[in-house]
Structure formats: structure tokens, C-alpha cells
A and B are shown apart, each in its own frame.
Chain A
Amino acid sequence: MNFRHKHIFLLPGLLVLIGILIFPILFTIRLSLSSWDSFYPGLDFIGLENYVRLFTEDQRFWESFFRLSFLSLTTVFLQYVLGFSLALMVWRDLAFKRFFRVLFLIPMMTTPVIMTVIWKTVFHESLGPVNDFLSLFEITPLWLSDDTLAKVTVIIVETWQWTPFMFLLLLAGLLSLPEEAFLAASIDGAGPVRKFIYVTFPLMAPISIGAIIIRLIEASKIMDTIYVLTSGGPGTATETSSFYIFIKGLREFQMGYSAALSFTYLVIMIVSLTIIAKVLVRVMIKQD
């Protein structure tokens, strides 16, 4: 088999890659340079007009991006803390360990849209069970209608839904840790807290970084929860980038402009996640 034959074997994979990754990105870039909308269908060429509009006129996109950053960083941080805690809980000997492991995974197995509809009912301000209970203490928080509380509600739902994912990855990491390091720490007289700080956490750092980055990528695409729970409201209090792009593209049918938004968003996410990953490595993994 010569060099050329080897390349032929790579061709199917390459074609799939071109079809599902390269072509859509290139088409999005081309679309972003057109004025395609409901009235002018077609790939005309308007240069960087959509990008100029985005950077000079569209404050709403940038507001939604900063809102997204806040929501995704907060939810992923909470998911990490809770997921790690739950993983530690079922890592060592515990009665009904298997039961708890499955139980903690259930939220992740449910369909996000369906669960959000259920959460919406739970937090319904006049008919929902949460306020029904709280009204006994004469408190009826506006879970979905108040600027701040609506964000809190989104964070609660997202944390509930995706903490199990973090739990699963971190539990897998904990189960693969070498026993020797823990034995050595025990011989040196380290207690559970010191063992966690000096052994478990450092050893878990690489997998923690991986889990955090995966969740940040997913959290930055948050859409279904917002769509069902608040539609980005009240006002624009919970509007995120992906929801805004959805409105511009599929509601208002500004295909050219939404392509420009999508591509800009993709570039920002690649750059910011690369920076976040480097910062996490520097903070969590000590060179010595």
C-alpha cells in the first residue's frame, strides 16, 4: 500500500468533516455577508454591513452576551461545587451507594424542554406550588416577573438539570484516582480535609478543568430553558445571545444578520473559552 492509497482511506472521514463542519461554517460566513431576509431572499453581497451594524448599533446583542456570561459562569460554578460534593458523597462507602448514584443522574436524563415546562408550573406566581406554600408565610416572590428573581430561577433550573453531568464526570475521575497517594497521606497523618486539599483536589484538577469547559460550552448555548421559562423577559432581563440570535434569525427572518451574529458569537466563544481554559490550568494545576 503506497502513500496515495492511505489518503484514499482518509477520504470518507474528510468528506463527512467537510459536509457537517466546514461547509456550514463557510456558508454561515457567506450568508453573513448578504442581506437575506424575508423580503430579499438570496445571497447578494453587502460586504461587512451586517458586522458594522452589529458593532456600532446593536447594543442589545452585547447586553445579551454579558447576561449570558453571568448566567453561564454562575450556573457552571454552582454545578461544579454541587456535582463535586455529590460525587465525594457516593465515592466512598455509603449505604445504598448505587441507588444514590442513579438518583443523582435522573435530572440529566429528563428532556430539558419538558422539565422546564414543569419548573415553570412549579414557579408559576399565582398558581404554582412554591408560592402556594410560601403564601402561608405571606411571601409570594415574583419568580418569573422580577428582573433579578427571573435570573435566579433560570440559574436554579439550569443547575438542577446539569449538576448530574458534572457529578458523573467527577465521580468517574474520583474512581480512577490512584490509591497510593491516599495511602501515603494517611501514613503522614493527614485528615479528610487535608487529604481533600492536598491530594484529591489537585489530582482531580485536570478532569475538573475538562468538565468545567464542557459545561461552559453547553451553558453558553442556553436556549430551551430561556425560551420556555421567560422568553427572555421580563423586558430583556434573561435574554441570552443564543435566544437573541434565534429571534433575529427564525422569528424576524433576518438570515444574513443572524449569520453575522452567529459567526461573531462563535469567534468570541472560541477566544474566551481558550482564555478560560488557560486561566483554569494556571490556577488549578500547580507545576510542582
Chain B
Amino acid sequence: MKFSVLSTGIVVGASMIATAASADKWSDQFPHIKNTGDIPGECSYESMSKKDYSGRKLTINTHAVPVMGEPTALHAEQFAKLTGAEVNVIHTPAGDLYSKAMVPFQAGQSPYDIVFGFSNFIRDWMMYLEPVPDYYVNMRQMQDVTKSHIDVASWDGQMIQFPIDGDRHYLKYRKDVIDNPEYQKKYKAETGKELRVPRTWKEYGEIAAFFNGWDWDGDGELEYGSAEVMKKDDLMYAAFFSRSVAYSKNPRTPGGFFFDLETMTPLINGPGFVEALTDWVEATKYVPPGGINFGLGDEINSFGGGQTLFSFSWDDAFVAAMEDDSPIKNKVGAAPLPGSDRVWNRIKGDWDNQFNQAPYIVWGWAAAVAKKSKNHDMAFDYLCFFSNDANHQADIAIGRFGVNPFKKSDFVPSIYVERQGWDEQIAKEYTQTLMDMEEKSTNRVFPLRVPGVFQFTSAVATGTSKALAGQLSPQEALDEVAAEWEKILKRVGKDNVRQAYAVGVALEDNLN
């Protein structure tokens, strides 16, 4: 507790110093950091200006503009100005990031010095990546990164990816509706229940269904219950896992969430997952028309545009809703993912009838340096500069950048109140929710990070989308997924998958 108060004090102090440092010589040249000015550190503007990479070229493969692509290009331009390096940024659609790096990796070529991708690529890519040198791992800037995100970027204790972004799924809701006394009375009168931020997925479904299909914000348009990523092959499997964690991640049954680590039997068709998929099929009744075809962009626009009461996924929808031009700025709240009134106990073969909640530290953006690159020093300096305190604080305020909090100093409400005009209570809720998920919970689920990860997640996407479309029942759909997983295990090798999966399970079981 004392440590927590002390560290918060230090962070707030640092933040105040940072604010006081605004309008320095660097922010005059680089308006992107006008709010904070340069913040001293190993990779600050000042430090980078002392490096000389003239005559050298850095090639980066990143995502398309704007998400992650725009900050990559912006920081590349700044880095080039400061160090004299030539930086070539190549933009690639999200779906092709994996193969665009993997093909040259496997062919033994190194067209890119830095590759951007998703953090769950780590197992497939790690043999082609240069581990982050100790100098960067031990620097002050890195000490500020939360343990969850150090874990996400590392493999078996060795940091492989450079932390540049933080991701987790959490609940977003319309605060102006849930806290509205008139609606609370109406909801109580019609359902006999309290209107509150849902604690369970069942409650989420009941409230969403109640607020589905009528104009509850008086804008003359119909509003709906929930916006979710349900489109096949558009990250829908991550949304399904978010709905599954409460029913399937039982703190009393360590040893695997996706597989039983001992036998490597897929657990994906267990009663917990089936219950979650049954809820999700039910959710098709309270999403906007066509919501079953919503990708991440649709979800962000739908909730961010004020069309739905709830949403859950990455930070983007929340940040979009809180931007100045949003019609619902300061009308939204953040809360942990809903839990469940029971959780499947696979050892007992029965439900444990008690409340359960589990944060899903879902994969996010990651960047790493290619082992075969001849510019390791410059590449790591670029990534360090990308995520230095001044750049990071400016980046997280811009929704379209896709850079989200992952540093302890990000979880201070005043940053959002002072720099982005957030309501104080909302900022507190937001930072508390994120911090508690990352630092307090001992029942976390990490993304699947095993060889051939895309084969496993693609099978989940196909199976669950068949259930959502009514082509198969939830049990049939997940039995099909489990059968496909068995085949993948056979092809890739059970021991190979087990070895990799054990690393993630150790994190989930808090063994590290």
C-alpha cells in the first residue's frame, strides 16, 4: 500500500515536472509533444539528438495508416531529423503483416530492420528476432512498463518485443443511461432488477436487450444494446475469448485455459466455452441491424458514435467516444469485463457456483528488430524513441493512432483530465479499471502464443461464426473447433505446442 502511494506520488510528480517542461526547444521543433515538451530519459529527444546515424538507412514494415502506421511514420520522421538517419517506412494491411515478415524470415532474407505485428506472433517470429538488449530492458523508461506488458513482450523471461502499446479488453458503457434515475426506475419497474453496470454476462445481456431498438437518448434515431466484433476473420475470436474467460478461467483449476497442459486436450468445447457461445448467439438479438457483420472499425464507430449502450474490446472505442468531436464525450464509462455467477471446474467436472471474473490481457501491437538486420543499434534506438515518455503521452491522446496505455504513469487520472478534458470521475474509473486488470488480478488470461497460432484462432473464428449465423448449435460449433484443434496439434506436434503453451500458462498461474 505504502509502495503504491509512493509510486503514484512519484508518477504524479513526474507528470507535473513534465507539464512544467512544456514549450521547451524540442516542442518548438516538434509540435507533437507540445503538451509535455521533451521528457528526460534514455531515449528522449535530447538524448537522440546526440546520436549520429548519418548515411545509414532503417527500413520498417508497419501497419497501414492511421492505426500504428501514422505514429510509426511520424516518429520515423522525427528520428531522421534528430539522428540524420534515412528511415523508410512501409505500410502493410493488418491481415498481411504476419506473412509479409514471415516469408523473408523463412527465406533467410532481411528486407526489414523493424517489423510491426501483433504480440501473439511472438512464438512464430521469435527465432527470427533479436532479443531486446539488457541496456534497454534495464533503463528507467522500461521500469515504468506494467508487469503484464513486460510479460506479453517476453518469452520465458527474455524480452523479444519492444513494448510500444498496451492492450486489454474491458467493458465500455453509456454512463448517462446507466446512471440516469429515470431509466433506473423504468428498468426496476419493468424487470424488477436494479439498473447498474453489469457484473455478469447474463446481466449484460438482460440490460442490453432492454435498451435495444428504441431511442433512449432522444436524438431521433434508434439505439441498440451492444456493439461487438462478430465478423469472421476480423478479430472475432478475441471477442469470443473475452466472453469465455469468466465461465472458463477457474482460479482453482490451474494448468491451462485453452488446453489441459498435461494432456493437451483442447478445452475449447467445454461447458464454460459453450455457455459463453450460447450467450453470444443470444447477443445477435441486441446488436444493431447487421451487427453480426461488425468488424473492429464498425464496433468503434457504432459505440463511439452513440449507437449502442455497451461495447467491449480494445481501448479504441472508448478513446474515440472521449475525443472532442464525439457526440458522447464524457457520457461513457469503463469497467472490467463482466463476470459470471458460475465457473466451470474441469477437475470436478461440474460448475463452481460462485462469482468469477478474469481479465483478458489480449494481444496488441508489438514491434521487434529482425535478427538479420545490420542496424540493431539504430533499430532499438528508434523503438526506444518511439515509446519515450513525451511521444507516448502525446500518442495515447490520439484515438486513431492505436497506441494505448501500458506504462504505470499512464494510469494517473489527472493526465486525462488536464490534457484531454475528460470528466474526473470517468478518468478515475478508466485508469482504475485498467490498472486493476493489469496489476491486481491473479486470474488473468493471456493470449494463445503457440506455434501455428493462426491455425488455432482461425478454427475458432470459423466455428463461432457458424454458431452466430445459426448454421450450427454452440456445442456443435465448438466440437468442430476442438476436432480441428486436435488435427492442428497432430500436424504441429503436441509436444511443440505444449512447450510453448506452458510459458503462457505459467503467467496465468502466477508462477513467475
Contacts and interface: CB of A to CB of B under 8 A. Distances in A.
Given A140-B289, A247-B233, A237 B98 contact: no
A6 B410 CA distance: 75
Contacts of A131: 289
Given A38-B454, A235-B466, A236-B462, A143 B232 contact: no
A129 to B, nearest CB: 13
Nearest to A36: B106
B143 interface: no
Interface string A122-147: 00111000010000000010111101
Interface of A: 35, 37-39, 41-42, 57, 60, 124-126, 131, 140, 142-145, 147, 230-237, 247, 250-254
Contacts of A143: 290
Contacts of A252: 452, 454-455, 458
A252 B307 CA distance: 34
Contacts of B95: 250-251
Nearest to A232: B232
Residue of A147, A231, A232 most packed against chain B (CB within 10 A): A231
Interface in B73-90: none
Interface in B231-250: 231-234
A247 B491 CA distance: 17
A233 B232 contact: yes
Nearest to B458: A252
B496 interface: yes
Residue of B295, B462, B487 most packed against chain A (CB within 10 A): B462
Nearest to B292: A145
Q: What are the 6 A-B residue pairs with the smallest beta carbon separation, nearest first?
A: A125-B290, A235-B469, A234-B469, A41-B106, A233-B232, A125-B289
A35 B470 CA distance: 34
Residue of B232, B465, B493 most packed against chain A (CB within 10 A): B232
Contact of B232 (A37, A140, A142, A234): A234
Interface range for B:
35 or more
Given A234-B232, A237-B469, 15 more contacts: A38-B452, A38-B454, A125-B290, A126-B224, A126-B289, A126-B307, A143-B290, A145-B292, A147-B470, A233-B465, A234-B292, A235-B468, A236-B465, A247-B458, A253-B452
9 contacts: A39-B124, A126-B302, A131-B289, A233-B233, A235-B232, A235-B465, A235-B468, A237-B469, A251-B99
Contacts of A60: 462
A42 B471 CA distance: 38
B293 A233 contact: yes
Residue of A126, A144, A232 most packed against chain B (CB within 10 A): A126
Given A232-B233, A234-B232, A147 B469 contact: yes
Nearest to B106: A41
Contacts of B16: none
Interface string B433-474: 000000000000000000110110010001001101111100
Contact of A236 (B124, B451, B471): B471
Contact of A231 (B231, B288, B452): B231
Interface of B: 95-96, 98-99, 102, 106, 124, 224, 231-234, 288-293, 295, 302, 307, 451-452, 454-455, 458, 462, 465-466, 468-472, 487, 491-493, 496
Contact of B451 (A39, A124, A230, A234): A39
Contacts of A237: 469, 471
Interface of B is mostly: helix
Contacts of B455: 37, 252, 254
Nearest to B295: A231
Contacts of A57: 487
Residue of B293, B307, B465, B493 most packed against chain A (CB within 10 A): B293
Contacts of A147: 469-471
A130 B246 CA distance: 39
B466 A251 contact: no
Contacts of B452: 37-39, 252-253
Contacts of A230: 293
Nearest to B500: A39
A253 B98 contact: yes
Contacts of B487: 57
A131 B293 CA distance: 15
Nearest to A37: B452
Contacts of A251: 95, 98-99, 233, 454, 458
A231 B231 CA distance: 8
A35 B491 contact: yes
A247 B232 CA distance: 12
A135 to B, nearest CB: 9
Nearest to B471: A235
B483 to A, nearest CB: 10
A79 to B, nearest CB: 26
A254 to B, nearest CB: 7
Contact of B96 (A124, A235, A250): A250
Nearest to A141: B289
A140 B492 CA distance: 46
A37 B34 CA distance: 47
Contacts of B307: 126
A60 B295 CA distance: 23
Residue of B291, B292, B487 most packed against chain A (CB within 10 A): B292
B285 to A, nearest CB: 12
B451 A145 contact: no
A145 B234 contact: no
A60 B462 CA distance: 10
A225 to B, nearest CB: 14
Contacts of A126: 224, 288-291, 302, 307
B100 to A, nearest CB: 9
Residue of A147, A237, A251 most packed against chain B (CB within 10 A): A251
A45 to B, nearest CB: 16
B99 A253 contact: yes
B289 A231 contact: no
Given A232-B233, A235-B232, A247-B458, A253 B102 contact: yes
B454 A234 contact: no
Given A39-B124, A250-B99, A252-B455, A142 B289 contact: yes
A234 B233 contact: no
A250 B94 CA distance: 12
Contacts of A231: 231-234, 295
B458 A38 contact: no
A40 to B, nearest CB: 8
A75 to B, nearest CB: 21
